[in-house]
Amino acid sequence: MKILHTADWHIGKKLQKHELKEDFALFIEWLCATIKSQAIEVLLVSGDIFDLANPSSEARTQYYKSLLKLRNLNCKIILTGGNHDSPAMLDAPQEILRNLDIEVIGGLPQDITQTLILVKNKAGDLEMIVVALPYLRDSDLRKGNEGVSYDDRVEAIREGIANTFKAAEALCKMQFPNIPVIAMGHLYTAGTETSDSEREIQIGNQAAFQASQFGEYFKYIALGHIHKPQRVNALVPTFYSGSPIPLSFSERKDEKRVLIIDTATGWEPQSISVPSFRKLIRVSGNLSQLAQSLNNLPGHDGLDHLIEVVLKEPKYDAQKIYQFDQLTSQFEKSGYQIVKNYTDFDENLQGTSALYESNQQLEDLKPKDVFIKLVDQQDLNQEDKQDILSAFDEILEEVQNPINS
């Protein structure tokens, strides 16, 4: 049986206010062609289907149209919710989609047996089990008053993740002995490389999960959340497929991919590169260097390439900022769009904005970064600061990852 693993679709994503719906549409076309040419029988999508918990009607329409295109390929589809997704929204059409052989697990069910998806071969025989675990929210992992200190809460979350996977493992061993099992997960494991477009999860990523705790029972573990494709150092093949399209300029050099497992030959996946539908380009230098670089951009076909422009100068100069603004605002070149620009001076003016670096814009700042700078200005001991940050993480978790949104 051939299985394709992808994740972090982030339907509805905007990069610096520029919509990426065309990029995703082209990815789905390519994915359908790949599923057909590779004779894929099972498609796994490990979380963050949408970019927002309450996606726009346009994003929802693209989601359902994409599922129908994939469904027409007679491929079993299994999707799980991520930290960006609303469990309630994903789970709402669950029964209808199940009749189309599309399994969606938006949030962790009360009965964990509902995460066990039976996969049959063309002859109708049980071929494998997929444990489709979605993003595990703090409310799924910490019960009652488990742990009162910050360290206790972090440890409770780590143990909760491990116990959830162990509970699923125990069920599979009991109900389906000798049947191979794949696990899906959406979480942050220790030691992985992140990008700018990932939202911190589980107490600001402090509760990083040790991949060794997955154990050696599952044949393959299909992870989502980290956008940079990478292997996790675990006892069994464990991979982040990464996002199929670049979602931030920090991902501009990543080689996007999907992973294909052929159970006839083993559980090590084959990496298939996703075509680059548009480039993300970072241009930096002084004014003359920027003007030359922008003028020398080569022509191309397809989607507009998106540009991040950085003015780098030794000293703060208001006149150069004005000239830089003129350069970027008046830029016109077919096939290119400047979507982000900022200055980077070695010597900055200090003023009311001194808390932040000159190259930081409002949309680049994370809520926790702002809060940390505020806390650092207060006369507090380290223990009080840690308690305040812990409380902030919990509030931010509730706001960004609502249970019933």
Would you give per-residue pLDDT tens digits along the chain (405 residues)? 999 999 999 999 999 889 999 999 999 999 999 999 999 999 999 999 999 999 999 999 999 999 999 999 999 999 999 999 999 999 999 999 999 999 999 999 999 999 999 999 989 999 999 999 999 987 777 654 454 566 677 777 778 899 999 999 999 999 999 999 999 999 988 656 666 666 665 544 455 678 888 999 999 999 999 999 999 999 999 999 999 999 999 999 999 999 999 999 999 999 999 999 999 999 999 999 999 999 999 999 999 999 999 999 998 888 999 999 999 999 999 999 999 999 998 876 544 444 455 455 555 567 777 788 777 767 677 766 766 776 677 677 666 655 544
Q: Within this chain, do residues 216 and 288 fall inside the same structural domain, yes or no?
A: no
Q: Within this chain, do residues 359 and 243 fall inside the same structural domain, yes or no?
A: no
Does 402 reside within a domain?
A: no
DSSP 137: -
Look-up: residue for tokens 């509760």?
207
Contacts of 185 (CB under 8 A, 6+ apart): 46, 133, 165, 221, 222, 223, 224
Q: Within this chain, do residues 187 and 269 fall inside the same structural domain, yes or no?
A: yes
Work out whether strand 126-132 and strand 116-120 pair parallel, antiparallel, or are unpaired: antiparallel
Q: Within this chain, do residues 215 and 315 fall inside the same structural domain, yes or no?
A: no
Q: Which of 180, 37, 170 is nearest to 112 (CA)?
A: 170
Residue 40: which domain range? Answer: 2-273
Residue 341 has φ and ψ, to the nearest 5°, of: -145, 145
For 351, how many CA atoms within 13 A lie in the half-sphere containing its CB?
6
The helix/strand/coil state of 17 is coil
Does 143 reside within a domain?
A: yes
Q: Within this chain, do residues 297 and 360 fall inside the same structural domain, yes or no?
A: yes
∠ CA 321-322-328, nearest 5°, is 85
Contacts of 137 (CB under 8 A, 6+ apart): 83, 107, 108, 397, 401, 403
Q: Within this chain, do residues 152 and 13 fall inside the same structural domain, yes or no?
A: yes
Question: Cα separation of 258 and 37, whole Å?
Answer: 14
Domains in the chain: how many in total? 2
Helix ranges (DSSP H) in 265-355 = 287-295, 318-329
Domain boundary, last residue among 273, 301, 333: 273
Q: Within this chain, do residues 214 and 327 fall inside the same structural domain, yes or no?
A: no
Q: How big is the chain, counted in residues?
A: 405
pLDDT at 355: 47
Q: 99-104: list long-range contacts, CB under 8 Å, 24+ apart.
A: 100/67, 100/71, 101/71, 101/76, 101/77, 102/67, 102/71, 102/76, 102/77, 102/78, 103/76, 103/77, 103/78, 103/79, 103/132, 104/78, 104/79, 104/80
Domain boundary, last residue among 245, 273, 301: 273
Q: Within this chain, do residues 252 and 104 fall inside the same structural domain, yes or no?
A: yes
Q: Within this chain, do residues 269 and 287 fall inside the same structural domain, yes or no?
A: no
The helix/strand/coil state of 212 is helix
The helix/strand/coil state of 146 is coil
Q: Within this chain, do residues 244 and 159 fall inside the same structural domain, yes or no?
A: yes
Give the CA diameter of the chain. Answer: 73
Q: Name beta bridge partners: 189.
A: 209
Amino acid at 31: L
Q: Within this chain, do residues 255 and 288 fall inside the same structural domain, yes or no?
A: no
Does 381 reside within a domain?
A: no
Q: Within this chain, do residues 328 and 267 fall inside the same structural domain, yes or no?
A: no
CATH of residue 140's domain is 3.60.21.10
Work out whether strand 18-19 and strand 220-224 pair parallel, antiparallel, or are unpaired: unpaired
